[in-house]
Structure 1
């Protein structure tokens, strides 16, 4: 049986072959003693990312329960590995005199720049030009989106970065401390977003990172909480995943966004992993 089929002049990988290969990588990753960056860890995850961005017609909703379970496990493993990779790089950067000049040493920096450019374009097209105050939920030790946005696009915007991990925030603060302007405009708060209430009403735009809420139920609960407390007319940008990219990150669908007005849903076809979903909390009169 031919495993590759030609469609629209692009070589598509069949769903069966894709699942078989991803299952194999999941099995190898699951056996690792540690997910800290190493040659072996980096190789497995690089292969996984390359597989997941191949053109394919896979429908995540039609996967068998066993494959769904493997996918959920893989998302958790990817999240852990990503956190450890970011922490290692951030810790390495703060030892340099100018950490912000060396962000491009991070292996996925180019992807973050492309994603930030894409998100800025989508925000601009929907009338969000220079918001006064933005929140980024799930900023991590390498708050690349906030850094790229603040330095290149939203040059007068104030950013509040929320993360549940104090170690991540501590390292992120040290990266930003090397730039006086960014340090003034960028704050880091250690908290669970489910415990943030009235403060959510201060933001013109809230970004929700892909790995905040690892399973569907948790993600929907977080989105509902943000909606309840954010201001009317405020914008929420949610990162999601589509097709095979959903083996790397949780998926947010339109029916998960109850009570919001959907402004834009964008699924990338290049090496950007995350889909971008932009919604607005309606103004009630």
Structure 2
């Protein structure tokens, strides 16, 4: 049995790391930045008693929100750097494993695919990924390993991220035909959401509870009846890295599965379905 780290020790160490990360002049990838975030991820995936985020003191909640924002910025910069690097080498799609967290994404995609298949989503025709970023690893892994005939529409609000992602995908003509990137805020995409059999919602779309609930409500309104929504969340200490989606935030969706990993996968997986109107 692995020994659990006491909650107060864990929070003290995370608070110290937050202070160190906040002092950095830049969050661009560097030895120091990478070391701090690697330490943080390792801390947050240690076996610990389940931390109740709602019960934390207000200053810890504020620190957590700040930390999630810093993690999001650093992740975006790391992805952008890697995406630009990959675009300059031959066959970038054969070298995705150079990305430091690639193995983590493979495990997460395998897990999500297993959950989808277990709920009858086997060969979806059209899938949307909301918040795909400059390294759309989930879409790439799904499209090449699990959903090999599916069309993917990737939405991100950052044109620079989409340009970087397009450059990588353009090196594979077959994949380029079924993978598109659009610079849109998903809140502006309406009737079109009814085309998708399944929509993935990235963990960093909706950085706090209010924003997340708004996005979920919007998707619920425009998705097709019987359509699936895969939402990434976080549990326990992993909630210091990513926003948490609570069951009471899920509105009218039918909850099919909530899975909390205990290995080095960070994100919890919540699979929802929009009910059929009788």
TM range (shorter): over 0.9
3-state DSSP of counterpart to 1:13: coil
Residue 281 of structure 1 pairs with residue 242 of structure 2? no
Alignment of structure 1 residues 96-245 onto 2, 5 Å: 96-245=89-238
For 2:29 and 2:67, the matched residues in 1 are separated by 17
TM-score, scaled to structure 1: 0.97
5+ residue gaps in structure 2?
Answer: none
State the match for 1:43 in structure 2.
35
Superposed CA deviations along residues 102-140 of structure 1, whole A, max 9, x for unmatched, are 100000000000000000000000000010000000000
For 2:269 and 2:174, the matched residues in 1 are separated by 28
3-state DSSP of counterpart to 2:258: strand
3-state DSSP of counterpart to 2:36: helix
The alpha carbon displacement at 1:97 in A equals 1.5
For 2:39 and 2:234, the matched residues in 1 are separated by 18
- 4, 15, 24: which is aligned to 2:16? 24
Alignment of structure 1 residues 48-63 onto 2, 5 Å: 48-57=40-49, 58-63=51-56
Residue 14 of structure 1 pairs with residue 6 of structure 2? yes
Residue 66 of structure 1 pairs with residue 59 of structure 2? yes
For 1:16 and 1:226, the matched residues in 2 are separated by 38
5+ residue gaps in structure 1?
Answer: 1-8
Alignment of structure 1 residues 240-259 onto 2, 5 Å: 240-259=233-252
Superposed CA deviations along residues 212-241 of structure 1, whole A, max 9, x for unmatched, are 010110000001001100000000000000
Regions of 4+ moved over 6 Å:
none
The alpha carbon displacement at 1:180 in A equals 1.1
The alpha carbon displacement at 1:61 in A equals 1.8
Superposed CA deviations along residues 66-96 of structure 1, whole A, max 9, x for unmatched, are 0000000000000000000000000000001
The alignment of Structure 1 onto Structure 2 pairs a total of residues equal to 277
The CA RMSD measured in Å over matched residues stands at 0.5
State the match for 1:264 in structure 2.
257
